[in-house]
Structure 1
C-alpha cells in the first residue's frame, strides 16, 4: 500500500502518460512552425528575417546557436553533484540548512547557466537591452511624478511612451531598478544580481512552503529538484525571476500563517499580504497568484485558521494598493491600458491557434520532463479530497497558467513571463517514488543543459 501522497505507488502509468504527452507536445511545437501551415504558425506577416528573430526557435524565444562558455563546466559539475548526492544531502542536513542550501545551489546553477552565454551577453547586458527597464531609469528625475503620470504613458505611439517592458508592467518594476540606481547600485550587473538572488530564493521559499503544507520529508524530497530546476535559465536574466521570488515568499509566508506553523502567524500573514500586494504592482499577471493563495487557504486545518491568515493578509495587501492609489496610480487603469498596448505590438502577428498550445510546450521546456512526471501524480482524487496542500498548490499554479493561456494576453515568451507559476510546478516532483528521483533529476538537468547550449535565449 502506498503513502498518502502516492510516492511509493509501484505503477508508473501516470508518469509515462504525462511525459509522453509532453514530449509529443514539445516536438510538435518545434517542428510545426517550419511546415508553413497557414495560421498554425508562431508568427504571421513576417519576412524570413523577422521570423528567424522572433519565432525561429518557437516555442522558446531565442536563436539557434550551439555554443559553450565559462558557465558550461560549473553548470555540468553542479548538475552531476545534485543528481548523485542531492537526495542524500537533503535528507541529512539539519532542517534549517535545507532552504539555505537549496537557495545557494539554485543561485549557483542559475548563474552558471547564464554564464554559458558570457558575462555581458548572458548576464550584465540583459537588463540594459533596448526594451528593458534600465534604459528607462536615467529618464526618471521625479519619482512621485513618475507614479502619478505612469498610466498616461502606457499606450504606444506617443512622444513620451514608456519602452516596452516598462509599459507592460505596473510601476513597481521600474521603481525597483530606479531605487537600486539611487543607492549607488546602477547598471546591468547589479540589476542582474538582484534578479538572480531574489529569483533563486523562490526555491527556498517553496521548500519552506512544502514543509508547512505537507511535511518535512516531502520538502526534503523536493529540494534537489528545486535547486536545479530548468526554470533557472530565465531566473538569472530577467526581471520575472525577481517577480517570482517575491510572489513565492508571499505564498510561503501565507502557508506558514494558514497552517499555524509560524511563531507568530499573524505577522507571517501580514508579511505575506505585503509581499503579494507588492507583487501585483510588479506584474499585472500576478493577480492570478490569488489562485495559488486560495489553494493554500483551502489546505488550512480549518476555517478559523484560514480566516486568521486571510484577513491580515488582505488588509496588508490593500495597504499597498492604497499607497499606490494615493500616489496617483490605480492598478485597474493600468491593466486596461496595458491590454490596449499589448494589441498595438507583435501580439497581432502571433496566432492564438499556435500559441494556445505552444505556450504549454514552452512550460514543459521550462520545468523539465521530471517535473511533468510529478504533475502526472498531482491529480490524485483521494489526496485532493483530504485537502493535501502540495497537491492543491500545484493545481492552483496549473489553473493560473491555464487562465493566463486562455486570456490571449500571453502569447510566446511564457518560459519567462510565467515563472511565478512554473516554479511551483517543480514541487510536484516530491510525489514521485523516491527510488526514481535520481533519474528524473538527471532528465531535468540534461534538458536544461541541452536547451541552454543549443539556443541563445532572449531572456
Structure 2
C-alpha cells in the first residue's frame, strides 16, 4: 500500500470510527437539526396513516387497505429472524469494512450484503417469486408475445386494453425483457425475481461509483452501508421497478465514467441504458434529470454527451422501427389510467401521502442526513432525485401504489443518510426495513 493510500484510509477510518457510536456532534446544531428532521419524518408518516384510515373509513379509499401503502397489515413471525440477524451483523461490521477494504472489495461486500438482505426479507414474507405469479403482472402476457416479439410490439398500443394491469400501465420494454429472459432458457416467476433482485441490488454499486466520481472515494465509502441496508429493499424484492432502478443507476455511473477511447463506448452504453428508461416506465422520464445533473457536476466532455445521446437515439430508433411510437403509448396508457379506479383516489391526500411513502423507503437516517447538508456532489444527486419525485407527485398520475414507483429514485435519495453519524442511524434504517416487511403484506 502506498503512503498516500495509507493516509487516505487512516483519515477515512478515523471518521468512520468516530461514526461507530453515538456522536458527540449530536449535541451541537447538527444534532438538533437531525432531531427536528426525525420529528418531521415521523409526523409525516403518522399523519399519512391517520388520514388514510379516516378516508378509508369514509369510503374514499376502497381499493387501499392500509393507505398510504397498497397492502394490508400482518403479524410478524419468526421468519424475520434471519434478516434481523443479518442486519445486526451488518450494522456492526459493514461501516468498518467499507473503509478498511480496497474499494472494489468494499463494493463487492456491499452488493453481497444488499443482495442477502433483500432476499432474506422477501423469503421471510410471501417468498421471492410470489409477486411475479400475479395475473396482473408482466409474465401473464408472455403467451401473447409468443414467437413474434416484433409483431407484438407493433400491435402493443392497439391491444393495450386487453392486457393485465401492470402491462397497461407501462411501455412494452419490461415484457420484452422478460420474454428475452425466457427465450434464454430462464422462464417463469423465479428467474424474473432473480433478475429484478440482482439488477436492483446492483444499484448499490452503480450509485457508489457515481458518488466516487462526483464527491470522492470517502463519500462513496460512507454511503455504502446505507445503500446496502436501505429500507427500499422491501420493494426491491420483488418488482420490476427494482430492475428499472438498476438500469438507471448504471446508466448514470457509465455516463460520468466515460472519456476518450474506450470511454466513448461506455458513454454510448450509458445512452442506451438511459434511453431505455422511458420505454421501461413512463414514470422514469423525470429520472433523466439525475444524469443531467451528474453530467454537469462531473463536467463531462461534449464528445461524451454526443456518444450518450447517440446511444439514447438508437433505442428510440429501434422502438420506432419495431412499430411502437412512444407518444401514442403515453396517450393510450393515460386513457387506461383514467378509467382505472386508482384515478379516483383523492389527489390532495396522496400529494402528501406519497411523500410519506418515500420517507419510509429512504428511512429516518435520510431525513436526518438531509438536515446536515450532504457534500456538494452528493447533495446535487439527492436534490435531482427529490425534484424528479416532486414533479411526478404534483402531476397526479402517481396516486398511491408508489412503493415500487419510488424505488429508482429512493436509491439516490438515501445517499443523504451517509451524513448522519453513528451506527445508531444505520440500525434505524435496518429496523425500518424489518418493520415494513414484518407488518405490511404487499403485492410486490
The alignment's TM-score, normalised by the length of structure 1, stands at: 0.87
Partner residue, 1:57: 66
Q: What SS is found at the alignment partner of 2:280?
A: coil
- Mapped partners of 2:136, 2:372: distance in 1: 40
The worse-fitting range, judged by mean Cα deviation, of 229-238 and 368-377 is 368-377
1:43–1:55 contact (8 Å) kept in structure 2: no
Matches within 5 A, 1:169-184: 169-184=170-185
Match in the other structure for 1:88: 96
CA–CA distance in structure 1, aligned partners of residues 275 and 338 of structure 2: 27
Q: 2:364 aligns with which of 362, 369, 381?
A: 369
| Aligned-partner Cα distance in 1 for 2:59–2:257 | 47
In structure 2, the CA distance between the partners of 1:291 and 1:14, relative to structure 1 (3 Å rule), is: farther
Aligned residue number for residue 16 of structure 2: none
Q: Which residue of 1 aligns with 2:272?
A: 274
Secondary structure of 2:29's partner? coil
Whole-Å separation in 1 of the counterparts to 2:39 and 2:118: 27
1:159-178 paired onto structure 2 within 5 Å: 161-178=162-179
Q: CA deviation at 1:44?
A: 4.7
Question: Whole-Å Cα distance in 1 between the matches of residues 356 and 58 of structure 2?
Answer: 16
Deviation of residue 162 (structure 1)?
1.3
* Counterpart position of 2:5: none
User: What is residue 3 of structure 1 aligned with on the other side?
Assistant: none
In 2: Cα distance, 1:227 partner to 1:330 partner: 37
Distance apart, 1:415 and its partner CA: 1.6
Rate the CA distance shift 1:347–1:69 in 2: closer, same or farther, 3 A.
same
Is the CA contact 1:25–1:361 (under 8 Å) kept in the aligned structure 2?
yes
Moved more, 240-249 or 137-146: 137-146
Deviation at 1:292, TM superposition (A): 0.5
TM superposition shift of 1:96 = 1.1
Contact 2:215–2:377 at 8 Å: present in 1 too? yes
Which string of whole-angstrom CA distances, capped at 9 and with x for unpartnered residues, describes residues 293-347 of structure 1? 111122024xxx3423322111110101000101100111111211111111022
* Alignment of 1:323 onto 2:323: no
Q: Aligned to 1:328, what secondary structure does the other structure show?
A: coil
Q: Residue 35 of structure 1 aligns to a residue in which SS?
A: helix
Rounded to whole Å, the distance in 2 between the matches of 1:265 and 1:393 is 22
Q: 1:42 to 1:333 in 2, by over 3 A?
A: farther
**Number of aligned residue pairs:** 418
Find the aligned partners of 2:314 and 2:267 in 1 and give their Cα distance.
13
SS at match of 2:285: helix
Q: 2:137 aligns with which of 132, 140, 147?
A: 132
- Given that 1:370 and 1:441 are in contact with CA atoms closer than 8 Å, whether structure 2 keeps it comes out as yes
- Structure with greater helix share of residues: 2
1:122–1:237 CA contact under 8 A, matched in 2: no
Of the three residues 44, 49, 56, the one matched with 1:25 is: 44
Secondary structure, aligned partner of 2:365: helix
Structure 1 residue runs of 5 or longer lacking an equivalent are 1-6
Question: Secondary structure of 1:280's partner?
Answer: helix
Aligned residue for 2:424?
A: 439
CA distance in 1, matches of 2:57, 2:141: 29
**Superposition deviation, residue 15 in structure 1:** 1.9
The 2-side partners of 1:186 and 1:15 are apart by 47
Aligned-pair CA distance for 1:430: 2.4
How far the C-alpha of 1:230 sits from its partner, in A, is 0.5
The verdict on how the C-alpha distance between 1:310 and 1:14 changes in structure 2, with shifts beyond 3 A counting, is farther
What's the counterpart of residue 300 of structure 1? 298
- Unpaired runs of at least 5, structure 2: 1-18, 20-24
Alpha-carbon distance between aligned partners in 2 of 1:274 and 1:406, rounded to the nearest angstrom: 28
Cα RMSD of the aligned pairs, angstroms, is: 1.9
Residue aligning to 1:66:
75
Within 5 Å, which residues of 2 pair with 1:59-458?
A: 59-68=68-77, 70=79, 72-117=80-125, 121-141=126-146, 142-154=148-160, 156=161, 161-257=162-258, 264-301=262-299, 305-378=300-373, 388-432=376-420, 436-458=421-443
Distance 1:408 1:139, change over 3 A: same
Tell me, in whole angstroms, the C-alpha distance in 2 between the residues paired with 1:367 and 1:102: 17
Shift of 1:359: 0.2
Describe the superposition over 1:6-35 as per-residue Cα deviations: whole angstroms up to 9, x where unpaired: x97952233223221111110001111223
In the superposition, relative to structure 1, how do residues 188 and 42 fare at CA in structure 2: closer, same or farther (>3 Å)? farther
Q: 1:270 touches 1:312 (CA, 8 Å); kept in 2?
A: yes
Asked if structure 1 preserves the Cα contact closer than 8 Å seen for 2:60 and 2:345, the reply is: no
SS of the residue 1:96 aligns to: helix
Mean Cα deviation higher: 235-244 or 276-285:
276-285
Contact 2:364 2:428 in 1 (8 A): yes
